Amino acid sequence: MTASTHALAPLVLDGVVPYPPEFAQKYRENGIWLDQTFTEFLFASIEQHSEDTALIFGDTRITYGQLGERILTLAAGFERLGIRRGDRVVVHLPNIPDYVALVFALYEIGAVPVLTPIALRLHEIGYIVEESAARGYITTAAHDGNDLAALAAELKSSSSTLEHTIIVGSGGLEPLLAQGTLEHRRRSLPSDVAFLALSGGTTDRPKLVPHTHETYLASVRAAAAMTDITSDTVQLVVLPMSHSFAMRSPGYLSTLAAGGTVVMAPNGSPDVAFPLIAEHGVTIVALVPPLALAWLNSSLKLQHDLSTLAVMQVGGAKFSPDSARRVRPELGATVQQSFGMAEGLHTFTRLDASEDIITTRQGRPTTDADEIRVVDAHDVDVEIGSAGDLLTRGPSTIRGYYNAPQHQHVFTEDGFYRTGDIVVQDADGYLTVTGRSKDQINRGGEKVAPAEVEDLLLAHESVHEASVQGIPDAVLGERVKAFLLPRAGVDPKTLSLPKVRQFLKGKGLAAYKLPDVVELVTEFERTAVGKISKRK
Ligand code: AMP
């Protein structure tokens, strides 16, 4: 440790619910929380593997040494901009090679990246900038036909905190790269908030999830052990790099910490992914169920050598046992189911578990310190083998959302997070997800909060009332359906599916939240308190 390390005081970030001291002490004493920051975690590997390939994207290959250089150069640029320890910077990028360098450059200076999926638009990003009081916003000029540079300009003009917008890929990084390099050293403490992630969402707006270095790295290390990550690992990352499944389950963080290679892809369709598996000898990939199905059903699997693929992880939404049973015979890989959430807990089926377990369960926790309760409507524990609401508490599960006392009720008084998932736990601790008690739509792993869409629909001049619900879909699991009660006398054509989608798009809503189906109704069934009854 350098002299300046001793001078570091813990970062004070208002709006973070701390772990009770006795829990923090226990996790440290048990060796689950280590005295290590994100950059220390990665730089240990950078020093050991400097000549090896860290990242591959298209024709770009980046060695560990080059990655380290790039991180420290960008860190100098951020520091020169005046970004300081604890400052929030919203990162809104697709999977590109500089993703890792940019995020780690922020970690190096102790800034707090706010990790957002590229699919989000002005409605969501504007709110996230405001809620996190972000000083910086990093995006790319355009993505999927959307002008993100214009979005950046709009954010800057409307936000009172945003000072810096950085557009990657159109010379936007040049000013950051012209400031020399920083020396790698400790500029934040393991107990500092490292980043803010987004909750899957059940409320009208996204909630921010604060993870510290020690809470998150605990889960990264545990996941690496569950998935046998080593320096020989070649991991294909097709899911958004901002999502916890792509980050830490085991994600790019585990592979980079072990000195393996991360192959990044813009998406996971078989025509993109299969050639990459064959070319780079990919050993592990994480997919959401619709992608896994697309791989299983693709005739392309016969045209590419997929023999190196040892593990196909599936999670984010329920993978059907019938599909899971097809993985080994048809793709030659072991399926590993994973269930988890941005709030912290993640579970895995063990690689050596029986075929019955790996095809029917969604995994079990990674450490004994992850506490699981399965309870009835009165918070009383149910019998093993019975369905109930999943509550969890542990070294990687947050104690509250960032700056959101109004949502503290999803945590029990003794700190358990109410996941909103209905599960059955078996005698070996394995969980099977059987349903959901939260008001959320899981569209192939992408989460939609009905209240967020309903709120925007109510702003439509022809809509009197709206109810947004999930409807079953063979591939996605669920799709989004909007039931609309029109205002008296309006022409129903103003509420056709294309018009409704166009309206919501115009409001800056992400494309995956737009209704797939619209149905006009003449009345809604009500609950006893007069709310629209979603059941009926
Ligand atoms: P997110 O924070 O976006 O990862 O969403 C977390 C939520 O996704 C969980 O609370 C579950 O509702 C759902 N989820 C994640 N993995 C699975 C899985 N393997 N099976 C069923 N639901 C899942």
Count the Cβ atoms, other than its own, within 10 Å of residue 406. Answer: 9
Ligand 1 centre to CA of 211 (Å) is: 18
pLDDT average, residue stretch 20-35:
98
Q: What is the dihedral of CA 483, 489, 494, 495, to 10 degrees?
A: 0
Ligand 1 centre to CA of 51 (Å) is: 37
Q: Where are the domains of the chain?
A: 21-422, 441-520
In this structure, which residue's CA is closest to atom 15 in ligand 1? 316
pLDDT average, residue stretch 411-424:
98
> Do residues 234 and 282 make contact, with C-beta atoms less than 8 angstroms apart?
yes
In this structure, which residue's CA is closest to atom 23 in ligand 1? 317
309/270 Cα distance (integer angstroms): 14
Is pLDDT above 80 for 228? yes
pLDDT digits (tens, 9 = 90+) for 112-146: 999 999 999 999 999 999 999 999 999 999 999 99
Q: Is residue 439 helix, strand or coil?
A: coil
- Is residue 342 within 6 Å of ligand 1 at its C-beta? yes
Ligand 1 centre to CA of 342 (Å) is: 9
Pocket probe for ligand 1: among 288, 339, 349, 374, the residue whose CB has the most ligand atoms within 8 Å is 339
- Is residue 242 within 6 Å of ligand 1 at its C-beta? no
pLDDT digits (tens, 9 = 90+) for 436-447: 999 999 999 999
Is pLDDT above 60 for 469? yes
Q: What is the pLDDT, as a whole number, of residue 535?
A: 67
Share of the chain above pLDDT 90, in %: 94
Longest alpha-carbon distance in the chain: 74
For residue 465, with 0-12 CB atoms within 10 Å meaning exposed, 13-18 middle and 19 or more buried, which class applies? middle
Ligand 1 centre to CA of 419 (Å) is: 9
Please identify which residue in the block is written with the tokens 């050598």: 305
Q: What is the pLDDT, as a whole number, of residue 203?
A: 82
Residue 451: pLDDT band (50, 70, 90) is very high
Q: What is the pLDDT, as a whole number, of residue 128?
A: 97
pLDDT digits (tens, 9 = 90+) for 277-291: 999 999 999 999 999
In this structure, which residue's CA is closest to atom 12 in ligand 1? 421
pLDDT digits (tens, 9 = 90+) for 289-328: 999 999 999 999 999 999 999 999 999 999 999 999 999 9
Ligand 1 centre to CA of 369 (Å) is: 20
Ligand 1 centre to CA of 341 (Å) is: 6
Ligand 1 centre to CA of 235 (Å) is: 21
Is pLDDT above 80 for 1? no
Ligand 1 centre to CA of 69 (Å) is: 36
Ligand 1 centre to CA of 480 (Å) is: 17
Pick the atom of ligand 1 nearest to 338's CA.
Answer: 19
5/188 Cα distance (integer angstroms): 8
> Do residues 8 and 189 make contact, with C-beta atoms less than 8 angstroms apart?
yes
Residue 96: pLDDT band (50, 70, 90) is very high
Count the Cβ atoms, other than its own, within 10 Å of residue 397. Answer: 25
Q: Which CATH architecture has domain 21-422?
A: 3-Layer(aba) Sandwich (3.40)
103/109 Cα distance (integer angstroms): 10
Q: What is the pLDDT, as a whole number, of residue 204?
A: 81
Contacts for 513 with CB less than 8 Å, ≥ 6 apart: 448, 452, 453, 480, 504
In three state form, how does the secondary structure of 208-276 look?
EEEEEHHHHHHHHHHHHHHCCCCCCCEEEECCCCCCHHHHHCCHHHHHHHHCCEEEECCCCCHHHHHHH
Structural element, H or E, at residue 503:
helix 497-506
pTM over 0.75: yes
- Is residue 341 within 6 Å of ligand 1 at its C-beta? yes
Q: What is the pLDDT, as a whole number, of residue 532?
A: 85
As a CATH number, domain 441-520 is 3.30.300.30
pLDDT digits (tens, 9 = 90+) for 332-391: 999 999 999 999 999 999 999 999 999 999 999 999 999 999 999 999 999 999 999 999
Is pLDDT above 60 for 5? no
Question: For residue 472, what are its two tokens?
Answer: 């079953």
pLDDT average, residue stretch 472-479:
96
- Is residue 433 within 6 Å of ligand 1 at its C-beta? yes
379/369 Cα distance (integer angstroms): 21
Is pLDDT above 70 for 6? no
Pick the atom of ligand 1 nearest to 197's CA.
Answer: 2
Q: What is the pLDDT, as a whole number, of residue 3?
A: 43
Q: State the average pLDDT for the chain.
A: 96
Distances (CA, A) of 140 to 137, 150, 170, 187, 266: 10, 10, 8, 28, 14
- Is residue 191 within 6 Å of ligand 1 at its C-beta? no
Count the Cβ atoms, other than its own, within 10 Å of residue 255. Answer: 27
Q: Is residue 534 helix, strand or coil?
A: coil
Q: What is the pLDDT, as a whole number, of residue 528?
A: 79
